[in-house]
Amino acid sequence: MGVELVVDGDVQRWGEAARASGQPVSAFHAVGFLTVAAAVTQSHLVPLVVRHRGRDVGVAPWLLRRRGPLARVNRVPFPYAGPLVPPDLLGETLDALWRRGRRHGVVTQDHEFAPGTAVDPGALATWGSTLRHDQTYVVDTSADLDVLLAGVDPRCRRQIRKAEAGGVRVEARSPLAGPTLERVLESVFALKDHSSGYRHPLGLAPTDLLPLKDLDARWAVAQVGDEPVGSLLTVRHEDRAVAWLGGVLPEHRRTTPTRCSTGTPSGGPTSAAPRPWT
């Protein structure tokens, strides 16, 4: 019996199946995150548990965007939306996903893999995929803050100290988090002259993330005095935290709050083994 795809969004089963893959599991693979992300990207989440020989061996998030009779899968503005399965089953899993796509009028599927995921590029090419390699940062945040700062570029340390001396502070659980992030997304993508891929207005509030059983969120706002200058939303699942959304308002780029906020224990773009959050 080959690979079988079963629709099941039960948090416990999904988590156990993801861990059974033997691959690193990030917050972007958590059912809670995927449910929220589907809403703000105007996608329909189909949580597919991957089974092989009667056992759950992985998961494959399917975020469906339909336009008329045709649809695209995982064309979303955040990374790592792709199958978590044992390496030797990746080819069969992709084949099962392509077959499912043909039945549902899917014209393209995008699948991404997190840092540390065991992937055979040859297997991907065999299944007709176009490959692209992106870069990210993986930071061990279990060390003391002084050790983390010592490990960054000296210019970055100077920017952090300059921002702190200039009165930039990072506030967690700020009521300004939602409105500031809305402004950041709107301004950043307006400069690039293309859509962010998120609904507008975003309509996301910290309270939307608090009830999720498989996800912790830290939503920080960088401020100078009482004025917000940037926002960073970081999500944590098990022992890994990842920065999801954030940035600095263009008119405040010189205050360098981004460097100050990403230098906190919540980690950078991708962090492993984070210290307890406050």
> Which residues face 218 on adjacent strands?
234
**124 half-sphere exposure, CB direction, 13 A CA radius:** 17
What type of residue is 59?
Answer: V
CA neighbor of 274 nearest in space, from 16, 28, 26, 37: 26
pLDDT at 276 over 60: no
Tell me, what amino acid is at 142?
A: S
Q: How far apart are the first and last CA of the chain?
A: 48
pLDDT in tens, 96-147: 999 999 999 999 999 999 888 998 777 677 666 677 777 777 788 888 888 8
For residues 226-239, give the mean pLDDT: 87
Distances (CA, A) of 133 to 2, 64, 249, 272: 29, 23, 29, 21
Residue 115 · residue 138 · CB < 8 Å: yes
| H-assigned helices in 41-126 | 90-103, 121-126
Domains of the chain: 3-126 (3.40.630.30), 139-272 (3.40.630.30)
The radius of gyration of the chain's CA atoms, rounded to the nearest angstrom, is 20
pLDDT tens-digit profile of 156-184? 888 888 888 989 998 887 788 888 888 88
